[in-house]
Every structure is written in structure tokens, then in C-alpha cells.
Amino acid sequence: MDLLDTLVAKGLSRELPTREEAIAVLATSDEELLDVVAAAGRVRRHWFGRRVKLNYLVNLKSGLCPEDCSYCSQRLGSTAGILKYTWLKPEEAADAAAAGVAGGAKRVCLVASGRGPTDRDIDRVADTIAAIKGQSEGVEVCACLGLLSDNQAERLRAAGADAYNHNLNTSGDNYAEICTTHDFQDRVDTVQQAQAAGLSACSGLIAGMGESDADLVDVVFSLRELDPDSVPVNFLIPFEGTPLAKEWNLTPQRCLRILAMVRFVCPDVEVRLAGGREVHLRTLQPLALHLANSIFLGDYLTSEGQAGQADLDMIADAGFEVEGTDRTTLPQHRTAAAGHGGCGPCGGEESSSCATASAPACAPAEAATDAGPTAEPVTAGAARTDLVQVRRRGAGTDLPPNA
């Protein structure tokens, strides 16, 4: 296909595709899908080889959020039966993070529900960062706390945070359809605050919320303009008890086309396969590794992922390798321009998130025995509680995490 040849050439030279080219990727047929994956895979391998960065999520504070983001199980008015708890103590968070690091995590992502942190919250997170880095030397830490106020990004940087995550989620034109308590520009401003403070910026999207192809392309072009180091691609987890509980409009093939489009538009950034991959990609997850160079291992904010060891097996079986702590994630031209170590930030399910793992270690048997939800054909418009498993282990519980 002339389109794919053009997109590969542009990706290898970091040239921005046109919007028409990006939309054309989303419009390709299932018969063309393997050609699309192979083309985007060439771009991925050029910049990142066959390495897969693993990330590990610690949910510091779960539920009871005052924002009304329609996709989120922690939103105002949500009746989803998720875990709800206030701030973990620094030592509790450090212990949770250690499980991910023991499984090979290169980065730990600290997430808290809410509109944004208070200054006291920043102090809490600073103590948590110190506890994690004191217990797990060399680990990267990404914070994901919502909208930032003046000087909070600088304080997180001074406390030892390496990165900050705040997703754009959808296009500016579509944003009011999914949230009314803050707007698209609020999110852009927070990403820019993080960048100005010297934090490695992470910002991504959520697909599957009823948006158009134009919305998907627009948010990815907005991300390209913001130029974060990491772009997490989430696929909506339709939690029962949220306004989008019946938005089952993604197929595995559609997810792969979205990932390919993101890779063509953002060729040299860390593209992270984030929340919802087990639910929507299902048995095609290994193909997504040819497009994304980063994943979460284990569970997400309020939902469970597949067993950590299953992720490690998938990476090895697909011919990829886990990225070690001795490797810099981003290409040299990006790390030199940014003046940091090229750590690739977070972004995961719902309003934010992160996670990681590496070597052949996994969580205790109680936490890693299931291989993820059993997939059956998804009927559009119907709620599917069988494919969405609420997290009942790890942070905020007495059960060991799935790492």
C-alpha cells in the first residue's frame, strides 16, 4: 500500500503524517490489518528495537472523586463496586511498589483519585517517593495526582519524582461529552506545568468512548504537539455503574489500528499499551507488542489485569525482551533534548494510571493464578460484567498484589 510506505518513511524520519493519512489508517480493512501492523512495527523497531518496558501501578487513594469523568469508576455518582480507601501510608505504598519491582518493574506509578492534590497531599507523596526509593534503589517514580496548582510540579520534582502523568483522553471538541467538571485546556495546562518543572511528561488517550475517527486523530495530534515522552493508549473499561457501561464498540482489530495510528503520529515516543488491553485485545495482545513498546504488568487502578507471569510469557513467546534498568527507554535525540534520563512516564486505566515488571518473577500464587477474563463475543450496547473484574487485591487490601 502506498499509504503504508509513506507512513513508514515519515515515521523513520519523525515527519508528521497528515490528518487524512492518520484517518486512513483507522479506515483500513481487516484484510489489510497485518500489513498495517507490519508497517507500524517497522517504525517501532527502528526507535525501540524489540524491547518492552514494564510499569507497575500503585493506587494511593481509591474512589470518592468529585470529578464527573464518564469513563471512570471512581467518578462522582459512580455505583461501581470498587475498592474505596483514603491515602495509603508511605510504608504501605512502598511495600506495594516493592512487589512490582521484585517482578522486574522499572517504573512505579503513584496514582491518587481526585481533582488535584492539596499541598498536604504533595507532602504525603513526597514521603512516599522517599520510602519507595529508599526501599527500591534505582526505580523510576511517576506521579499521577490530577490537575496541578502553582509550584506543585516543582515540589514533586524536588521530592524525587521522575515523571508526571495526566492524560488528555479525548479531543478538545469531544471533551465536554465525557466531563463537565474540568475542561480540555485544564489537562493541557497540567502537562505543560510538569514539563516546565523538568518532569518527564506522560499523556495519552482513552479509545472506545463513542468518539469518532476524527476525535481519535485530533487527540493524538494534540499529543504530538504537546510532545510528551510517553503516550499511554487506554481502551475503555465499561464499568457497570458508570455512564459508559454499555459502550462495547471496540474489536481487537480496531484496537490494533488505533495503536498503529498512534505509532505513526508519535513514532519516537514510548507508546504504552495501557488499561483495557485484556478486555478488548484479548488473544491478539501479542500483536500489539509490535506497535507499543511499553505495558502495565498486573492490575490497574480499580480493575484486575491478567496474571503478571502471563504478561512475561507473552513478551517472551512473541520474541520480545523486557527492557532492563540498564537501558534508556527513549531514543538519544529525545533524552538529549529533554535533559533527562529518558524515563517513559505513565498513564493507565480510567482517569490515570501506571504499572511495570520485568524478570521471570511473579506475584504469590494467590495473586497470579488467573489468566484474565474469559472472552466471549461482545454484543454492542450490552453491559459485560464477565469481562471486567473489579480489583480486590494489592494496594488497599490485605491480599498480595498481582505483579
Label residue 164 left, alpha or beta by phi (over 0 means left) and psi (-120 to 50 means alpha): beta
Confidence of residue 311 (pLDDT cuts 50, 70, 90): very high
pLDDT, position 390: 80
Element (H, E) at 59: strand 51-61
The whole domain housing 308 covers: 42-367
Q: Is residue 402 part of a domain?
A: no
Residues linked to residue 320 through DSSP beta bridges, in sequence order? none
- Looking at the predicted structure, is the pLDDT value of residue 42 above 60? yes
Q: Is residue 176 part of a domain?
A: yes
- Looking at the predicted structure, is the pLDDT value of residue 319 above 90? yes
For the chain, how many residues are written?
403
Mean pLDDT of 44-69: 93
Confidence of residue 385 (pLDDT cuts 50, 70, 90): low
Q: Can you give the CATH number for the domain in which 97 is found?
A: 3.20.20.70
Q: Give 85-100 pLDDT, tens digit per residue.
A: 999 999 999 999 998 8
pLDDT, position 367: 33
pLDDT, position 386: 66
More confident residue, 394 or 124: 124
The set of catalytic residues is 65, 69, 72, 109, 142, 202, 272
| Sign of the torsion formed by the C-alpha atoms of 295, 298, 299 and 304 | positive
- Looking at the predicted structure, is the pLDDT value of residue 204 above 70? yes
Instruction: State how many domains the chain has.
Output: 1
Instruction: Give the C-alpha separation, 211 to 255, whole Å.
Output: 13
More confident residue, 388 or 155: 155
Confidence of residue 76 (pLDDT cuts 50, 70, 90): confident
Q: At 181, is the secondary structure helix, strand, or coil?
A: coil
Q: Residues of the chain with pLDDT > 70: what percent?
A: 87
pLDDT, position 337: 66
Q: Is residue 98 part of a domain?
A: yes
Q: Is residue 22 part of a domain?
A: no
Q: Is residue 293 part of a domain?
A: yes
Residue of 307, 320, 292 lying closest to 363 (CA atoms): 307
Written as nine digits, the cell of 207 is 479509545
Q: Is residue 133 part of a domain?
A: yes
Q: At 336, is the secondary structure helix, strand, or coil?
A: helix
Mean pLDDT of 193-202: 97
pLDDT, position 339: 46
Confidence of residue 301 (pLDDT cuts 50, 70, 90): confident
Q: Give 214-233 pLDDT, tens digit per residue.
A: 999 999 999 999 999 999 99
Confidence of residue 384 (pLDDT cuts 50, 70, 90): low
Angle at which helix 2-12 crosses helix 33-48, to 10 degrees, equals: 10
Q: Where are the alpha helices (DSSP H) in 136-283?
A: 152-159, 184-196, 213-226, 252-265, 277-280
Written as nine digits, the cell of 176 is 465536554
Instruction: Give the C-alpha separation, 48 to 170, whole Å.
Output: 26
List, in sequence order, every beta strand (DSSP E) within 215-324: 230-235, 270-273, 294-296, 321-322
- Looking at the predicted structure, is the pLDDT value of residue 373 above 90? no
pLDDT, position 64: 83
pLDDT, position 346: 40
Q: Is residue 150 part of a domain?
A: yes
Instruction: Give the C-alpha separation, 287 to 103, whole Å.
Output: 23
Q: Is residue 375 part of a domain?
A: no
pLDDT, position 211: 97
Angle, alpha carbons 71-74-75 (nearest 5°):
65
Average pLDDT of the chain to the nearest whole number: 87
The pTM for the full model equals: 0.87
